[in-house]
Every structure is written in C-alpha cells, then in structure tokens.
Amino acid sequence: MATFRIRPDEHFVRDTEAARFLRSHLNDPSIITIYNRLTNNWFIAYWLHRDTGVAYDVEDLGPEPTLSRTLVQFMERTKVGTTMKDIKGLLLRKHRTQQAQEEVESMEYQDAWKWAKKRTGDRAPVPWAFDSSVAT
C-alpha cells in the first residue's frame, strides 16, 4: 500500500462492480478500481487528489476485479472509528513528508555538484534534477 500518481500510459481508472459495491457499502465516494497495464492486474485505491491524479493503493485484486469476503471485512474494520477525512489527512501528511525528503536530497545533490564544479573549474551547468545515470 502506497501513495502513487496515476500515469495515463500505465493505469486505467475504471468504474467496476467491485468499486460500486465498496462505495455504497462503505459510504465512501473516493474508492476506485484501477487496471495496471504493465502488470495486467486490477487494484482498489482511494483518491487523494483527483485533480492531480494522486491515489492510495489499498489492495491488489489480481487479473479480475472481484472482491473477496476477507477484503470487504478488512476494509470494514479499518473504517470503524476513523473517518475518511482522518485517513486522507494522514496519507497527505505522509506524502508531503516524502516530497520534502526528496527536495532535501535534491538540494544536497546540487550542493555536491556545485562543490565538485568549483574544485575542478568545470563550466558546465549544474543538473537540477537527480539523474541516477549521471551519478554512476
């Protein structure tokens, strides 16, 4: 289970019977089913930011979008005592923390490049995004 961004070339958001059942059963309009074209599997997710395409993966359904009794009971138990607003707030805080960490790592990478350029007298521009092919 992780936060991810929906990629149009990889993911297809489809309204399936499983998603409709869970939305009505759990009274949660943010539940969706997504087909992953690379793995040929369906999975259940929550919308976090519909406008930007950010979702939270809940469970892999396999090659067919069918629900098991165990999955429905698990989702019912996780709903008890918490609201969707609480869950989304927690996930969004986690996502922001992850973004902040990536920004810090990027700044450290840029500082290392600047130091190396200064030491060697290189005049090439500093790459702004981390590229693993450059670092190796």
* pLDDT, averaged in runs of 10, over the chain (136 residues): 81 88 85 90 86 83 84 77 71 84 89 84 67 50
> Residue 136 has what pLDDT?
44
The residue segments making up the domain with residue 39 are 3-81
Q: With respect to residue 130, please indicate whether it lies within any of the assigned structural domains.
A: no
Per the domain annotation, does 74 fall within a domain?
yes
Domain assignment present for residue 11? The answer is yes
Residue 125 located in a structural domain: no
- Is position 37 within any domain? yes
* 100 located within any domain: no
Mark 21-35 as b/e (b = at least 16 C-beta within 10 Å).
Answer: ebeeebebebbbbbb
- Provide the number of structural domains found in the chain: 1
Q: Is residue 117, in this structure, part of any structural domain at all?
A: no
Q: Is residue 94, in this structure, part of any structural domain at all?
A: no
DSSP character string of 61-124:
EESS----HHHHHHHHHHHTT--HHHHHHHHHHHHHHHHHHHHHHHHHHHHHHHHHHHHHT--S
